[in-house]
């Protein structure tokens, strides 16, 4: 069986309801149903400080500005009905890309993911309405991020590719959903350059192929009652609703390519207006500075005029970089535009870089800043700016307010242009007064200065850590936002990076408490997040900008001191273990440094020495496991070889090593399998010879080296891997499979409080539990986030567990199975 054929028979898991019982390591296949994602899990609560990542596409209900949806870039979608005080999370694999409300019925809502999904009860339950069930051939996960793929019959309109091979390896996303305000049964959406439309509520569909990917769809009840407009990068297509005749109008050449088209009806005037941006697309896609022009049309896109107002063009200075814009659909004289680089010359001759949002209340005739931050160099990690003065923020302002913070998106309430949401790298903020002030909708600040998530949790967590001297004190190691801890068992949180070098603060991968010394703990840090995902080491120069190391705290994590003697400050560190048998005050510690290997300290972490004897190939040391008898296991991850410091297709694969002499020497563990991408290892405290190893399933060469170099040097070949879980009962001498090899298992956890119970979390939209040492498994009920990290037993209430995730913070609850 070829690798492509193997992918064709991968597990067909999708949505919320997944087959939850399987034996002997192979998951039985079953027709599944994603028709009823639950609005809010019954037995889980998401915890943490809230926010922490980028959010997109804020979309308001027509009936109530407190009812809106928003998505993050880590697959989660969030729905609030109380203005952002609380959120329900709705999860589709690969995430959600568009939202829509029925203008006539607020209970009818739509989400566009790799499918079109509909709710008729205000978002409590959801049903996939397109493509039709009978047209679906295959649903699978593949690649380094376990990306979801939906393949449909060649005859299905949903198959927009001529090459059926491509259609089975790539899933387009449903965007620009629009319910016709003239008729709720008429629905539009786009798949790339195809406009789909239904006139019977989604029972039957037609499609039209346009000249480019669709950016914006619009119709109204007035002068466009018989037309629907579909805007692309090159022009606008006017489509007659009855005849489906397309009349196209090209943009002026200086406006091409256009992006972020928006517009709507000018209140009380019976006419519409549209806005669009233009800059050089390659620069925009790379996130570089891209001088941007604003264009406006008052005749349905037939003609356009460039906005040359002083503030928009930054007259006398460099043309600003604008990222996106949005107008209120039925109040469209109100429009907001987001800038990430707005230069102003200072008195000393240097430039100040500002970023934020501008607003026009008169159809672009005049503009004013409603969010203005920065004023420094505009460089990430350089704290020479200031946050906007009119933000009533939670924890992000204190943590990152002096940094450059890229703004991401803006959404405006359809009937009130004074109500809008602007998002950035870390937070979502809302205004109800046209930008005079902005308030947090991701987190709530307590009187004591701590924070509590509102339910908009969008960041990556690695571990939950328990203070052995204080049951009220727990900590979470996070990507992007560093170390957070709580002194009330997780009810409220505070960020602690005091003493951590700015260059390290992006990610805290792990930490350990001293078991005998109150308030003493060590943490490990990295300037690079998302290890061991292959994207992090594609650049041959990645080590040149990698920073990190070890820090120690003697005040319960409130402040830190770097302790990197012998390893330098360029050591992105991902794992730390403490030998509890070593003397207090002179602990033996081991750390895994990505790209360097294993370091050991025998003096409480003050000084470190490299211990790589026997390690060959990849030095991407990712995880260490220490057994009670002192035996160490090390997982190294796949990385590009970068021969002679250059790009190439050669890759070191991952491995597992064992040391029985305190890391002085390492031997490769024979796993009795072919190629593995090991991710996480643990042991059973009842029998330390019983080991569990979680692994990643199939990836592509491009996941490791990048698509461009893979295709240029012989093709983007699949890397055939066996994922799932292996178990050894003889200390690693022999292994057997206990979990489906097609699954992307991040880590395995043994419940030390219950004999035979083990857990695993996956990137296949599920976490699982076994009560019989892995012989049979059941899926944890109501947990459905696409990208899972670890299951961690709550040491303060062992009936519960924490689930750490790649993008949804931490879930906490009782592990109930179906």
Per residue in 703-717, pLDDT (tens digit) is: 999 999 999 999 999
Q: Which residue has the higher pLDDT, 730 or 13?
A: 730
Query: According to the model, what pLDDT value does residue 21 have?
Result: 34
Q: What is the mean pLDDT of the chain?
A: 93
Cα–Cα nearest to 52, from 525, 424, 509, 429 = 424
Q: 754 burial class (0-12, 13-18, 19+ CB within 10 angstroms)?
A: exposed
Sheet holding 293-297, edge to edge: 258-266, 271-278, 293-297, 305-306
Query: According to the model, what pLDDT value does residue 32 have?
Result: 32
702-739: string of b/e by CB count within 10 Å (b at 16+)? bbbbbeebbeeeeebebbebbbbbbbbeebbeebebbb
Six-digit token string for 742: 């097609």
Q: What is the mean pLDDT of residues 468-493?
A: 97
372-396: string of b/e by CB count within 10 Å (b at 16+)? bbbbbebeeeeeebebbebbebbbb
Q: Is a pLDDT exceeding 90 seen at residue 116?
A: yes
Q: Is a pLDDT exceeding 70 seen at residue 11?
A: no
Q: Is a pLDDT exceeding 70 seen at residue 629?
A: yes
Six-digit token string for 557: 């994590």
Six-digit token string for 692: 């569990």
Query: According to the model, what pLDDT value does residue 15 have?
Result: 32
Q: Is a pLDDT exceeding 80 seen at residue 517?
A: yes
> Is-above-0.85 flag for pTM?
yes
Q: Which residues contact 765 (CB under 8 A, 6 or more apart)?
A: 13, 14, 15, 18, 91, 93, 784, 785, 786, 788
What is the spatial distance between Cα 428 and Cα 684, in angstroms, rounded to a whole number? 43
Q: Classify residue 83 by its DSSP letter.
A: T
For 561-587, write each residue's pLDDT tens digit.
Answer: 999 999 999 999 999 999 999 999 999
- pLDDT band of residue 163 (cuts 50, 70, 90) is low
Q: What is the mean pLDDT of residues 658-678?
A: 93
Pairing of strands 175-179, 147-152: unpaired
Q: Is a pLDDT exceeding 70 seen at residue 552?
A: yes
Six-digit token string for 804: 């750490």
Which has the minimum average pLDDT: 238-247, 374-383, 466-475?
Answer: 374-383
Q: Is a pLDDT exceeding 70 seen at residue 30?
A: no
What is the spatial distance between Cα 292 and Cα 793, in angstroms, rounded to a whole number? 51
Q: Is a pLDDT exceeding 50 seen at residue 458?
A: yes
What is the spatial distance between Cα 97 and Cα 117, in angstroms, rounded to a whole number? 11
Q: Is a pLDDT exceeding 50 seen at residue 94?
A: yes
Inter-residue contact 71 to 95 (CB < 8 Å): yes
Q: What is the mean pLDDT of residues 777-781?
A: 97
Q: Is 162 helix (H, G, I), strand (E, B) or coil?
A: coil
- pLDDT band of residue 168 (cuts 50, 70, 90) is very low
Query: According to the model, what pLDDT value does residue 349 have?
Result: 82
Which residue stretches of 146-242 are H helix?
A: 164-167
Six-digit token string for 120: 């008729």
What is the spatial distance between Cα 419 and Cα 407, in angstroms, rounded to a whole number? 18
What is the spatial distance between Cα 596 and Cα 501, in angstroms, rounded to a whole number? 20
Which has the minimum average pLDDT: 51-55, 161-165, 218-222, 637-641?
Answer: 161-165
Inter-residue contact 405 to 393 (CB < 8 Å): no
For 285-341, write each residue's pLDDT tens digit.
Answer: 666 789 999 999 999 999 999 999 999 999 989 999 999 999 999 999 999 999 999
What is the spatial distance between Cα 62 and Cα 103, in angstroms, rounded to a whole number? 6
Q: What is the mean pLDDT of residues 83-90?
A: 97
Phi (first) and psi of residue 692, to 5 degrees: -125, 135
Superfamily of domain 496-743: YVTN repeat-like/Quinoprotein amine dehydrogenase (2.130.10.10)
Q: 591 burial class (0-12, 13-18, 19+ CB within 10 angstroms)?
A: buried
Query: According to the model, what pLDDT value does residue 583 have?
Result: 97
What is the spatial distance between Cα 74 and Cα 96, in angstroms, rounded to a whole number? 10
Q: Which residues contact 544 (CB under 8 A, 6 or more apart)?
A: none
Cα–Cα nearest to 702, from 65, 43, 98, 144 = 144
What is the spatial distance between Cα 811 and Cα 797, in angstroms, rounded to a whole number? 14
Give the CA distances from residue 521 to residues 20, 518, 634, in Å, rounded to whole numbers and listed in that order.
Answer: 39, 9, 22
With pLDDT > 90 as the criterion, what percentage of the chain qualifies? 90
Query: According to the model, what pLDDT value does residue 189 have?
Result: 98
Query: According to the model, what pLDDT value does residue 27 have?
Result: 39
Q: What is the mean pLDDT of residues 769-775?
A: 98
Cα–Cα nearest to 751, from 769, 736, 738 = 769
Q: Which residue has the tokens 């695993």?
A: 760
Q: Is a pLDDT exceeding 60 seen at residue 374?
A: yes
Pairing of strands 767-770, 776-779: antiparallel
Which residue stretches of 286-371 are H helix?
A: 310-313
Q: Is a pLDDT exceeding 90 seen at residue 817?
A: yes
Q: What is the DSSP string of 209-232?
A: E-SS---EEE--SSTTTTEEEEE-
Q: Is a pLDDT exceeding 50 seen at residue 358?
A: yes
- pLDDT band of residue 280 (cuts 50, 70, 90) is confident
Cα–Cα nearest to 492, from 52, 85, 47 = 47
Q: Is a pLDDT exceeding 50 seen at residue 233?
A: yes
Which has the minimum average pLDDT: 346-360, 425-439, 493-507?
Answer: 346-360
Query: According to the model, what pLDDT value does residue 286 have?
Result: 65
Query: According to the model, what pLDDT value does residue 818 have?
Result: 80
**Size (the chain), residues:** 818
Q: Which residue has the higher pLDDT, 48 or 38?
A: 48
Domain chopping of the chain, boundaries: 55-179, 496-743
């Amino acid at each position: 069986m070829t690798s492509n054929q193997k992918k064709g028979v991968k597990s067909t898991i999708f949505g919320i309801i997944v087959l939850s019982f399987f034996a002997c390591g192979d998951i039985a296949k079953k027709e599944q149903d994603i028709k009823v994602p639950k609005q809010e899990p019954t037995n889980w609560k998401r915890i943490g400080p809230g926010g922490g990542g980028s959010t997109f596409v804020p979309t308001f209900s027509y009936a109530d500005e407190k009812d809106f949806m928003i998505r993050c870039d880590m697959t989660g979608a969030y729905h609030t009905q109380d203005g952002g005080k609380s959120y329900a999370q709705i999860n589709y694999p690969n995430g959600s890309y568009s939202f829509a409300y029925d203008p006539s019925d607020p209970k009818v809502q739509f989400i566009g993911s790799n499918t079109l999904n509909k709710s008729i009860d205000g978002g409590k339950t959801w049903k996939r309405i397109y493509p039709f069930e009978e047209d679906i051939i295959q649903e699978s996960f593949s690649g380094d991020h376990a990306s979801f793929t939906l393949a449909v019959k060649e005859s299905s309109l949903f198959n927009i590719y001529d090459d059926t091979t491509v259609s089975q390896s790539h899933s387009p996303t449903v965007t620009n959903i629009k319910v016709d305000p003239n008729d709720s049964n008429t629905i539009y959406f786009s798949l790339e350059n195809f406009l789909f439309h239904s006139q019977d509520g989604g029972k039957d569909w037609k499609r039209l192929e346009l000249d480019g990917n669709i950016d914006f769809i619009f119709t109204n009840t007035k002068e466009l009652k018989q037309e629907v407009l579909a805007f692309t990068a090159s022009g606008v297509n006017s489509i007659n609703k009855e005849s489906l005749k397309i009349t196209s109008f090209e943009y002026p050449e200086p406006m091409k390519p256009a992006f972020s088209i928006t517009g709507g009806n000018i209140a009380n005037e019976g006419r519409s207006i549209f806005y669009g941006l233009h800059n050089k697309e390659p620069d925009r896609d790379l996130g570089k500075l891209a001088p941007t022009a604003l264009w406006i049309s008052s005749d349905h896109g037939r003609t356009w005029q460039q906005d040359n107002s002083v503030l928009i063009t930054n007259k006398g200075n460099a043309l600003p970089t604008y990222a996106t814009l949005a107008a209120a659909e039925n109040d469209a004289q109100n429009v907001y535009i987001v800038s990430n680089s707005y230069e102003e010359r200072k008195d000393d001759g240097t430039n100040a870089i500002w970023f934020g949002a501008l607003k026009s209340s008169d159809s672009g005739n005049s503009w004013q800043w409603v969010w203005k931050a920065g004023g420094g160099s505009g460089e990430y990690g350089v704290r020479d700016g200031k946050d906007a003065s009119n933000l009533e923020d939670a924890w992000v302002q204190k943590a990152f307010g002096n940094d450059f913070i890229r703004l991401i998106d803006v959404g405006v309430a359809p009937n009130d242009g004074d109500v809008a949401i602007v998002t950035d790298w870390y937070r979502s903020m809302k205004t109800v007064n046209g930008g005079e002030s902005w308030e947090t909708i991701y987190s709530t600040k307590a009187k004591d200065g701590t924070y509590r998530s509102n339910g908009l949790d969008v960041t990556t967590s690695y571990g939950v850590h328990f203070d052995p001297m204080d049951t009220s004190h727990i900590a979470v190691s996070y990507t992007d936002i560093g170390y957070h801890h709580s002194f009330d068992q997780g009810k409220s949180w505070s960020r602690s990076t005091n003493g951590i070098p700015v260059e390290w603060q992006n990610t805290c991968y792990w930490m350990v408490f001293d078991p005998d010394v109150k308030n003493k703990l060590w943490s490990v840090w990295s300037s690079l997040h998302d290890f061991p995902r292959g994207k992090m080491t594609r650049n041959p120069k990645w080590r040149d900008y990698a920073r990190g190391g070890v820090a120690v705290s003697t005040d319960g994590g409130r402040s830190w001191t770097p302790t990197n003697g012998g390893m330098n400050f360029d050591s992105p560190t991902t794992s730390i273990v403490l030998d509890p048998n070593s003397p207090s005050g002179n602990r033996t510690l081991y750390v895994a440094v990505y790209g360097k290997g294993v370091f050991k300290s025998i003096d409480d972490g003050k000084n470190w020495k490299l211990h790589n004897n026997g390690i060959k190939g990849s030095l991407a040391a990712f995880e260490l496991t220490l057994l009670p008898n002192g035996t160490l296991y090390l997982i190294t991850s796949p990385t590009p070889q970068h021969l002679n410091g250059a790009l190439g297709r050669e890759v070191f694969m991952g491995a597992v090593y064992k040391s029985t002499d305190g890391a002085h020497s390492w031997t490769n563990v024979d796993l009795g399998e072919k190629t593995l991408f090991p991710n996480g290892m643990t042991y059973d405290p009842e029998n330390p010879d019983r080991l569990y190893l979680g692994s990643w399933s199939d990836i592509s060469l491009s996941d490791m080296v990048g698509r461009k170099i893979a295709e240029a040097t012989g093709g983007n070949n699949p890397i055939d891997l066996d994922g799932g879980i292996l178990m050894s009962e003889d200390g690693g001498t022999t292994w057997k499979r206990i979990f489906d090899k097609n699954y992307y298992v991040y880590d395995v956890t043994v419940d030390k409080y219950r004999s035979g119970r083990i857990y695993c979390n996956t990137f296949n939209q599920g976490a699982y539990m076994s009560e019989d040492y892995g012989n049979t498994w059941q899926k944890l009920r109501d947990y459905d986030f696409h990208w899972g990290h670890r299951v961690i037993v709550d040491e303060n209430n062992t009936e519960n567990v924490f689930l750490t995730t790649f993008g949804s913070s931490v879930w906490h609850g009782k592990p109930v199975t179906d």
